[in-house]
Amino acid sequence: MKNSLFFLFLSLFTFHLSAQNAVFENGVRKGILKFKLKTELIAGQNESTSKLDLLLQSLDVEKREQLRSKITKHKGRNLKRLFPRSTNASLENKHKKHGLHLWYTLDVDESSTILNLIEEFSALSIFDIVEGFYEKKLTNDGDYKMLTDKEIKTFSMSNNNYFNDPFLGQQWNFHNTGQLGISPSPADINMYAGWDIQQNASDIIVSIHDYGVDVNHPDLQNNIWVNEAELNGTPGVDDDGNGYIDDVNGWNFREDSSGVIPHFHATHIAGIIGAENDNGIGVSGIAGGSNGTGVKMMTLDWLDSFNVGMSYVYAADNGAVISQNSWTFGVPDLYEQSTIDAINYFIIEAGNYAGSPMKGGLVVFCTGNDGADVVMWPACYINVLAVTSIGADSKKADYSTYSSWVDLSAPGGHGIFIGDTTAVLSTMPNSSYGYAGGTSMAAPHVVGVAALVLSKYKHHITPLELEFSLRYGANNIDQYNPGYENRLGSGLIDAQKALDFLSSSNDSSSFRKNNSSVEDEIELTVYPNPASSEFKIYSEEYLDGEIRIYSTNGQLVTSHKVNSKVSEISVSDYKKGLYFIKIIDKKGKSILKKILVE
């Protein structure tokens, strides 16, 4: 009888995922292993058994026996896809295009050391990647302070100049009048000036990857994403065919159900992004709009579930174009490639539907609360925006992780450990309000501003242009942070500047002049990336035009004429860091790329 690796895998299959009673040792979950198959191992298995048999016959018999031996030795069982097969054929094909179907998990003996197993299984050369499930954490896991009855009464009597939301006067992070008595520099995101330009964002869906948002909070309920097909469909039926039953406002990946369990962390974040404005209650939200014109927030409850990646796939497949994240891996320098693959899926596939405001997705992460210059994933990943925290005095919060890979700063307050009024005021579960601090609260400021910018320029902006506008819409805060220069990103996010950038005619935004439509982009490759001495730009077509290089704050660094398929750009004299490359040809076509100089 043929010794078939494929049928060995089949004998291990089961179809249920559960994260209950998970045990971690040194930041690694015990009892489960994860791997990505080589593409050819399962290629054509449904269409051509003979092709699979040919592959199996070509495998080294000794290695096949070694695999069987290791599975037996470590009590391997319950092989299953990490990203479950979609019942929607179109979605399943998209997942396969990005290789998500190649990821599998295998339960193993809990006495086995996962790091040792990774080495053992990697040595078989059957898998592209073997990894464990690494511990993930919120960047604020319980430090908050609820408003007292006295505070509620006092704040409700205040007179605000912009909206009639009674607590807006206490939201120093939006409009800092010095109400906290902190000097030297009142820090805020210049939100009043931003609202003068744009207030509505009802056409933008933001996914919140966290615990559950209180979808019934009176200050949030009008701005919660609603899956109309499920809302108006038959209970217990997957009415929209997306593979999830009754997912009216998102999904609970912890319990694999539509039931959303409200949590302070996610609810507080949601209020910063999209608490409804001018409704006469509570706080204001950056992109909250009024009378239902605010951003639509999708709640994705995944924390304590081992598969965060599915939340990005769900978000992209269901209309989200901006992803909010206030979590990190548990220790520096550690990440999961499967999670990065899922984030990449969101970045590429989000907005891939008719009428979408933007093709592709923007992903925002907080840097973490380690208070040190360390490498924290996924925030340090070049394709996401990393946000650190400052207080009401424009100074870096003591707890904030800082580094050269940080992209932006935003208000998070100094009050993470004491939960006082120097933290950020926002919504809390059960129709309440409270203070919380941390980089967790900084990231949603950038997400909220991004939603407003995207709503203003919808259909005419790419994710990279959106990122660029946010970076440019930042005020340098180095003078308040000696010793942290170039480690707090481009500076403190400024809503007005970000909203004005793409329509500005000043010299610093020459980036946008003569810009083409999104559909008229040039196709090219930038390599190597990162670069140390030089990089090359390769275009399949003859390129006749101009190359412009910008710093992350939107300043033009240099420009070059180009008249070839391949261009070489020296960066030996550049400071280390991230740069944007704008290429424009004489026909008006253009494209924006990023390059990291090391």
What domains are defined for the chain?
Answer: 5-133 (no CATH), 144-503 (3.40.50.200), 509-597 (2.60.40.3080)
Question: For residue 252, what are the β-bridge partners?
Answer: 257, 301
Q: Evaluate if residue 423 carries a pLDDT over 80.
A: yes
Percent of the chain with pLDDT over 90: 61
Q: Which of 101, 263, 265, 268 is catalytic?
A: 265
| pLDDT value of residue 562 | 85
Respond yes or no: is residue 265 known to be catalytic: yes
Q: Which of 143, 188, 210, 239 is catalytic?
A: 210
Any idea what DSSP says for residue 435?
Answer: E
Tokens 């399943």 sit at which residue? 92
| Edge-to-edge strand ranges of the sheet holding 144-146 | 144-146, 432-436, 424-428
| pLDDT value of residue 137 | 86
Rounded CA gap, 104 and 345, in Å?
Answer: 17
Rounded CA gap, 342 and 347, in Å?
Answer: 9
* Region class of 52: left (phi > 0), else alpha (psi between -120 and 50), else beta: alpha
Chain-centre distance for alpha carbon 568: 32
Rounded CA gap, 287 and 315, in Å?
Answer: 19
| pLDDT value of residue 420 | 66
Query: What is the chain's mean pLDDT, rounded?
Result: 86
Which residues, including other chains, have CB under 8 Å from residue 503's CB and lie 6 or more apart?
A: 512
| pLDDT value of residue 95 | 96
Q: Evaluate if residue 132 carries a pLDDT over 70.
A: yes
The highest-confidence range among 134-138, 146-150, 381-385, 569-573, by mean pLDDT, is: 381-385
| pLDDT value of residue 12 | 53
Considering only residues 389 and 15, tell me which one the structure prediction assigns the higher pLDDT. 389
Q: Evaluate if residue 579 carries a pLDDT over 70.
A: yes
Tokens 């004489």 sit at which residue? 586
Cis peptide before 184 (omega within 30 of 0): yes
Stretch 359-380: mean pLDDT: 96
Q: What is the pTM of this model?
A: 0.89
DSSP 470-525: HHHSEE--GGGSTT-TTSSTT-EE-HHHHHHHTT--SGGGGGGTT---GGGBPPEE
Rounded CA gap, 538 and 523, in Å?
Answer: 9
List, for residues 325-352, the tens digit of each pLDDT value. Answer: 999 998 899 999 999 999 999 999 999 9
Q: Residue 500, Cβ neighbours under 10 Å: how many?
A: 20
Q: Which of 440, 455, 504, 551 is catalytic?
A: 440
Percent of the chain with pLDDT over 70: 86
Could you give the C-alpha distances from 381 to 58, 128, 328, in angstroms and in order?
38, 20, 12
Rounded CA gap, 90 and 87, in Å?
Answer: 9
Q: Evaluate if residue 518 carries a pLDDT over 70.
A: no
List, for residues 437-483, the tens digit of each pLDDT value. Answer: 999 999 999 999 999 999 999 998 999 999 999 998 899 999 999 99
Stretch 503-515: mean pLDDT: 47
Tokens 């009401």 sit at which residue? 392
